[in-house]
Chains A and B, each alone.
Chain A
Amino acid sequence: MSVSINTTDDNRSATIRINGRFDFSLHNDFRKSYKNVNISGGEYVVDLGNTDYLDSSALGMLLLLKEHAESQSSSVRLINFSEDIKEILTIASFDKLFSFG
Chain B
Amino acid sequence: MMSVLDESTKTVLIVDDDSTNRMVLHALLAESGFNTIEVENGELAVAAVEENDIDIVLLDVMMPVMDGYDAAKIIKSRQTRFIPIIFLTAMTDDAALARCIEAGGDDFLTKPYKHIILSSKIDSMLRISSLYKNIEDKNKAIEESNFLMQQEMNVSKKLFDKIISNDMRGEKTGLNYSMSPMSMFNGDIILAEKNQTKGLNFLIGDFTGHGLSAAIGAIPVTDVFHSMTQKCFEFTDMLVEANEKLMDLLPTQMFMAAALVSIDRSNNIISVVNSGLPDIYLYRNNKIVRTFKSKNIPLGISRLTSAQFEVEMETLQYGDRLYAATDGVMEATNETGAMYGLERLLDVFEKNTQSAVLFDSILENVAEFCAGAKQTDDITLLEYCHLEKVEYKRDVEYLNEHREPSDWSMQFTLDIKSLRQFDVLPYIMQSVNQLQPLEYGRTSIHTVLTEMFANALDHGVLKLDSSMKATPQGYMDYYNEKQSRLESMQEGHIQVTLQHELHQHGGGRLSMYVTDSGEGYSHTPANQVTKNQYSGRGLKLISSLCTEMKVLGKGNSVVAYYDWEDEA
- CB <8 Å contact, A93 and B297: yes
- CB <8 Å contact, B276 and A60: no
- CB <8 Å contact, B294 and A90: yes
B252 lies within 8 A of chain A by Cβ: yes
Question: Which of A55, A93, A96 lies at the interface centre, i.e. has the most chain B CB atoms within 10 A of its CB?
Answer: A93
A84 to chain B, nearest CB (A): 9
CB neighbors of B among A8-63 (8 A): 24, 55-57, 59-61, 63
B441 lies within 8 A of chain A by Cβ: no
Q: Which residue of the partner chain, among A56, A67, A90, A97, contacts B208 with CB atoms under 8 Å?
A: A56
A40 vs B208: C-alpha distance when bound (angstroms): 30
A74 to chain B, nearest CB (A): 16
B81 lies within 8 A of chain A by Cβ: no
- Contact residues in A for B295 (Cβ distance below 8 Å): 93
Query: Given A90-B294, A92-B294, A92-B298, do A56 and B252 touch, yes or no (CB 8 Å)?
Result: no
A91 lies within 8 A of chain B by Cβ: yes
B359 lies within 8 A of chain A by Cβ: no
Query: Given A91-B276, A92-B297, do A57 and B255 touch, yes or no (CB 8 Å)?
Result: no
A91 vs B279: C-alpha distance when bound (angstroms): 8
B448 lies within 8 A of chain A by Cβ: no
- CB <8 Å contact, B252 and A63: yes
A70 to chain B, nearest CB (A): 11
B406 to chain A, nearest CB (A): 42
- CB <8 Å contact, A92 and B276: yes
- CB <8 Å contact, B297 and A96: yes
Query: In which size bucket is the chain A interface?
Result: 10 to 19
B301 lies within 8 A of chain A by Cβ: yes
- CB <8 Å contact, B278 and A59: no
Query: Given A91-B278, A93-B276, do A60 and B294 touch, yes or no (CB 8 Å)?
Result: no
- CB <8 Å contact, B252 and A97: no
Q: Which residue of the partner chain, among B209, B255, B277, contacts A91 with CB atoms under 8 Å?
A: B277
CB neighbors of A among B275-312 (8 A): 275-278, 293-298, 301-302
Interface of B is mostly: loop
25 A-B residue pairs with CB within 8 Å: A55-B331, A56-B206, A56-B209, A57-B208, A57-B253, A59-B208, A59-B255, A60-B209, A60-B253, A61-B253, A63-B252, A63-B301, A64-B252, A90-B294, A91-B257, A91-B276, A91-B278, A91-B294, A92-B257, A92-B294, A93-B295, A93-B298, A97-B297, A97-B301, A97-B302
B293 to chain A, nearest CB (A): 8
Chain A residue with Cβ nearest B279: A91
- CB <8 Å contact, A57 and B278: no
Q: Which residue of the partner chain, among A56, A67, A97, contacts B327 with CB atoms under 8 Å?
A: A56
**Chain B interface (Cβ < 8 Å from any Cβ of A):** 206, 208-209, 252-255, 257, 275-278, 293-298, 301-302, 327, 331
- CB <8 Å contact, A93 and B296: yes
A16 to chain B, nearest CB (A): 16
Chain B residue with Cβ nearest A66: B252
Question: Which of A55, A56, A94 lies at the interface centre, i.e. has the most chain B CB atoms within 10 A of its CB?
Answer: A56
- Contact residues in B for A64 (Cβ distance below 8 Å): 252-253
- Contact residues in B for A55 (Cβ distance below 8 Å): 331
CB neighbors of B among A54-101 (8 A): 55-57, 59-61, 63-64, 67, 90-94, 96-97
Task: Using A92-B294, A93-B276, A93-B296 as known contacts, list a sample of 19 further A-B pairs with CB atoms less than 8 Å apart, ordered by residue number in A.
Answer: A55-B331, A56-B206, A56-B208, A56-B327, A57-B209, A57-B253, A59-B208, A60-B255, A64-B253, A91-B257, A91-B277, A91-B293, A91-B327, A93-B294, A93-B297, A94-B297, A96-B297, A97-B301, A97-B302
- Contact residues in A for B257 (Cβ distance below 8 Å): 56, 91-92
- Contact residues in B for A97 (Cβ distance below 8 Å): 297, 301-302
B368 to chain A, nearest CB (A): 23
A30 vs B378: C-alpha distance when bound (angstroms): 25
B131 to chain A, nearest CB (A): 33
A21 to chain B, nearest CB (A): 10
B356 to chain A, nearest CB (A): 29
A56 vs B252: C-alpha distance when bound (angstroms): 13
- Contact residues in B for A56 (Cβ distance below 8 Å): 206, 208-209, 257, 327
Chain B residue with Cβ nearest A23: B376
A57 vs B327: C-alpha distance when bound (angstroms): 12
A93 to chain B, nearest CB (A): 4
- Contact residues in A for B297 (Cβ distance below 8 Å): 92-94, 96-97
Q: Which residue of the partner chain, among B206, B252, B275, B331, contacts A67 with CB atoms under 8 Å?
A: B252
- Contact residues in A for B255 (Cβ distance below 8 Å): 59-60, 63
Closest 8 CB pairs of A and B: A60-B253, A93-B297, A91-B294, A56-B208, A92-B276, A64-B253, A60-B208, A67-B252
A61 vs B253: C-alpha distance when bound (angstroms): 6
Question: Which of A60, A91, A96, A97 lies at the interface centre, i.e. has the most chain B CB atoms within 10 A of its CB?
Answer: A91
A86 vs B294: C-alpha distance when bound (angstroms): 13
- Contact residues in B for A24 (Cβ distance below 8 Å): 209
- Contact residues in B for A61 (Cβ distance below 8 Å): 253
- Contact residues in B for A96 (Cβ distance below 8 Å): 297
A59 vs B298: C-alpha distance when bound (angstroms): 11
A64 vs B301: C-alpha distance when bound (angstroms): 10
Chain A residue with Cβ nearest B209: A57
- Contact residues in A for B298 (Cβ distance below 8 Å): 92-93
A82 to chain B, nearest CB (A): 14
- Contact residues in A for B253 (Cβ distance below 8 Å): 57, 60-61, 63-64
Chain A residue with Cβ nearest B295: A93
B303 to chain A, nearest CB (A): 12
A78 to chain B, nearest CB (A): 15
- Contact residues in A for B293 (Cβ distance below 8 Å): 91
A63 vs B257: C-alpha distance when bound (angstroms): 14
- Contact residues in B for A90 (Cβ distance below 8 Å): 294
B323 to chain A, nearest CB (A): 16
